[in-house]
Amino acid sequence: MAEPRRALQTELLEQVLPLVLEIIPGQAGEGLIDLYEPGSYEGQLLRKLCEKTLGKKNWSIEEQQILEDIYRQLDGGRLLCRGREIQGTALDFALLEETGAGEKYLYVPIRAIKPQEGGLYPSKKTSR
Amino acid sequence: MSSTGEVEQEREPPHPGWQPLTTVLDTTTPCFEKLLFLRSFETFSSNIYVIMGEYVTIVDPGNDYTAFMDLFTLQVRPEDIRKVVLTHGHPDHAFGALELLRSYPSLVQGGGFELILHEAAPPQLKEMVKDFGSRVTEVRGGETLELSSLEWEVIHTPGHTIDGICLYHAPTKTVFSGDMALPHTVGAPDPNAGGRLDHYLFGLKALLKRDIKNLLPGHGPPVAPGGRKVIEETYECVMMKIIGVENPIPWIEGAMALAQRGLLEEAVFCCDKEMACHPEEVKALELKALCLNDLGRSHEALEVLDKLGTLRSSENSFILIGKGYALLGLGKYHESINCFDEALRIKPGMKDGLVYKGMALYLAGNHEAAMDIEQFKTEFVGRFKEEMLKKKMSSNE
């Protein structure tokens, strides 16, 4: 994966580019990668795109394993990006990237993750 | 995910994203202008703090590199990160360090960062960070860390995990508390990471010894100026867990239960709380004096006993014995003997009075007079035998 770079929203909007959506399960190094052609994602909620990707059936064996990992994380977990829930369109979260051959595309990494921390007591109750 | 493939996510209020702490805390403290904050999303990650300066320091990088994407569109570049401090090794606080190294090659090409964490932190984590060419610095508590030109004291705070540390900045009375002290809740001890309730008390007492105003927790909103209150509430909650109490009970009952378990400092804390509500509560004063004497805090015990004396209409053997014991602890043997004699005048034959008087005489060098007191002699010889037996048994082992 290329290093994520800064992207200006206006710059993204002006370009007709494919969108690469990657859903990463937990702390895995690689996620499930799906490609959306220009015209197929604009204006759509990112959440809906994720649902569409996760609903697809034509995955390879390796991809199916990643998909299972994603489902395991989503059992009680959430889809997050940039430290928050994925409310908004794909362009709200996209980064402008470039392939080795210099072709530009939009990239959205999404994290599928379970609650993580070491456990909490329900609330503070003190003596009176 | 539902069976129909629908992702079930509830609508949350908009996340504020990265914010300067001056905005979060509504303060103009210059030091906080250098601090940026990203609030954790519920329990899916930890809060992330960034200290700006000649270089960037991150305190708890969370567990997701995408959390930094907005930061890197601002004034920060990945390669500006020179130090990363972990308050403990739980994945929600720590894995972000690995994610940053894995996702930003420019950071690795620039030599990575210095990862600072407790020596008891997971060894695999340290190894993985080293594999990316970064340096690992282990701390134990007591060190002073220079983080982006600010000096922070490392405080070892086990309890939630064995490798817990807090960072304290004395000039601003601010602490990064990790999961040791959280607003509105308490991090449960994680036995898989060496967490223990009794250690929790140790860590919290270490924090309470500092003058803390601002608390920058691992989850939930930063707290200012009520940081100390959050720590006190956590301390109270842990005490209650230890004595197995679920619902609020009177402070004095908590104090007695804690004293029975030998948790004398905690009992004193509860006595103080009781007296804050009922300043003339005799039971709380008596228990506090007993605990302070057993803790060797003789001066404080004398103060409490003096106060107790003002509340009693007549001479009281409890107060006299307590004062005698405190004076004994201070090496004022002759004054302590006077107290014991006075107590014995009120309650002749009282065993405690006789044994302690014997002790005072013995320590003052008057061995014969001490051994003339039968109760002391029996106690002394009994203890002596006990100690000899212990010594013999340990040498046999």
Q: What is the 3-state secondary structure (H, E, C) of B261-273?
A: CCCHHHHHHHHHH
Specify if A35 maps to a domain.
yes
CB contact under 8 A, B66 and A3: no
User: B260 and B350: one domain?
Assistant: no
Specify if B397 maps to a domain.
no
CB contact under 8 A, B106 and A3: yes
Over residues B328-341, the mean pLDDT reads: 96
User: B307 and B319: one domain?
Assistant: no
Look at residue B72 in the predicted model and tell me its pLDDT. 92
Whether residue A54 lies within 8 A of chain B, CB to CB, comes out as yes
Look at residue B14 in the predicted model and tell me its pLDDT. 74
User: B252 and B285: one domain?
Assistant: yes
Look at residue B206 in the predicted model and tell me its pLDDT. 96
Specify if A121 maps to a domain.
no
> B interface mutation test: which of A5, A79, A127, A128 has the most B CBs within 10 A?
A127
pLDDT tens-digit series, residues B339-377:
999 999 999 999 999 999 999 999 999 999 999 999 999
Specify if B174 maps to a domain.
yes
- Domains contained in chain A, number: 1
Look at residue B10 in the predicted model and tell me its pLDDT. 47
**Closest chain A residue to B190 measured between Cα atoms?**
A118
Over residues B265-282, the mean pLDDT reads: 93
Cβ-proximal residues to B351 (8 Å cutoff; 6+ apart), any chain: B375
What percent of chain B has a predicted confidence (pLDDT) above 70?
Answer: 96
- Mark which of B181, B207, B242 sits at the end of a domain: B242
> A interface mutation test: which of B40, B60, B66, B124 has the most A CBs within 10 A?
B66
What number is the ipTM of this complex? 0.84
**Closest chain B residue to A52 measured between Cα atoms?**
B5
Residue B8 has pLDDT above 50, yes or no: no
What gap in Å lies between CA A121 and CA B238, rounded to an integer?
Answer: 10
Global confidence as pTM: 0.86
The answer to whether residues B199 and B126 touch, using CB atoms and an 8 Å cutoff, is no
- Domains contained in chain B, number: 3
Whether residue A57 lies within 8 A of chain B, CB to CB, comes out as no
Give the model's confidence band at B59: pLDDT under 50 very low, under 70 low, under 90 confident, else very high: very high
What gap in Å lies between CA B87 and CA B145, rounded to an integer?
Answer: 13
User: B265 and B186: one domain?
Assistant: no
What gap in Å lies between CA B202 and CA B166, rounded to an integer?
Answer: 13
User: B256 and B383: one domain?
Assistant: no
Residue B271 has pLDDT above 50, yes or no: yes
User: B362 and B264: one domain?
Assistant: no
Which residues of chain B neighbour A88 with C-beta distances below 8 Å?
none
Look at residue B363 in the predicted model and tell me its pLDDT. 92
Specify if A30 maps to a domain.
yes
CA separation (Å) from B380 to B259, B322, B353, B371, B384? 25, 20, 14, 9, 6
Residue B388 has pLDDT above 80, yes or no: no
Average pLDDT score, chain B: 92
Element (H, E) at B19: strand B19-20
Look at residue B41 in the predicted model and tell me its pLDDT. 86
Specify if A29 maps to a domain.
yes
Q: The sheet that has B150-156: what strands, in order across it?
A: B144-147, B150-156, B165-169, B174-178, B214-217
Over residues B67-79, the mean pLDDT reads: 90
Around B55, how many Cα atoms within 13 Å sit in the side-chain half-sphere?
15
Residue A1 has pLDDT above 80, yes or no: no
Specify if B184 maps to a domain.
yes
Average pLDDT score, chain A: 86
> A interface mutation test: which of B7, B65, B277 has the most A CBs within 10 A?
B7
Residue A49 has pLDDT above 50, yes or no: yes
Look at residue A12 in the predicted model and tell me its pLDDT. 61
Specify if A122 maps to a domain.
no
User: B292 and B355: one domain?
Assistant: no
Specify if A17 maps to a domain.
yes
Specify if A98 maps to a domain.
yes
Over residues B201-216, the mean pLDDT reads: 96
pLDDT tens-digit series, residues B10-24:
455 677 889 999 988
Residue B219 has pLDDT above 90, yes or no: yes
Residue B1 has pLDDT above 50, yes or no: no
3-state SS string for chain A:
CCCCCCCCHHHHHCCCCCEEEEEEECCCCCCEEEEECCCCCCCCEHHHHHHHHHHCCCCCHHHHHHHHHHHHHHCCCEEEECCEECCCEHHHHCEEEECCCCCEEEEEEEEEECCCCCCEECCCCCCC
Q: Check which CATH number belongs to the domain holding B249 and give it.
A: 1.25.40.10
Over residues B291-298, the mean pLDDT reads: 97
Over residues B160-183, the mean pLDDT reads: 97
Give the model's confidence band at A122: pLDDT under 50 very low, under 70 low, under 90 confident, else very high: low
Specify if B80 maps to a domain.
yes
The answer to whether residues B82 and B102 touch, using CB atoms and an 8 Å cutoff, is no
User: B174 and B265: one domain?
Assistant: no
Specify if B3 maps to a domain.
no
Specify if B33 maps to a domain.
yes
Cβ-proximal residues to A66 (8 Å cutoff; 6+ apart), any chain: A25, A28, A30, A31, A32
Q: Which residues pair with A33 in a beta bridge?
A: A22
Least confident range from A12-21, B35-44, B209-218, B350-359: namely A12-21
Range of A38's domain?
Answer: 9-113
Give the model's confidence band at A13: pLDDT under 50 very low, under 70 low, under 90 confident, else very high: low
User: B74 and B178: one domain?
Assistant: yes
Look at residue B199 in the predicted model and tell me its pLDDT. 96
User: B90 and B220: one domain?
Assistant: yes
Look at residue B312 in the predicted model and tell me its pLDDT. 80
User: B379 and B363: one domain?
Assistant: yes
**Closest chain A residue to B74 measured between Cα atoms?**
A6
Over residues B262-272, the mean pLDDT reads: 96
- Mark which of B184, B207, B242 sits at the end of a domain: B242
Q: Is the peptide bond before A38 cis (omega within 30 degrees of 0)?
A: no
Q: Which residues pair with B156 in a beta bridge?
A: B165
What gap in Å lies between CA B123 and CA A109, rounded to an integer?
Answer: 29
Specify if B173 maps to a domain.
yes
pLDDT tens-digit series, residues B102-145:
999 999 999 999 999 999 999 999 999 999 999 999 999 999 99
The answer to whether residues B350 and B344 touch, using CB atoms and an 8 Å cutoff, is yes
Range of B344's domain?
Answer: 314-390
User: B268 and B137: one domain?
Assistant: no
Specify if B395 maps to a domain.
no
Specify if A1 maps to a domain.
no
pLDDT tens-digit series, residues B175-205:
999 999 999 899 999 999 999 999 999 999 9
Q: Which two tokens stand for residue A49?
A: 């795109």
Please return the burial class of B379, using the count of CB atoms within 10 Å of its CB with bins 0-12, 13-18 and 19+. Answer: middle
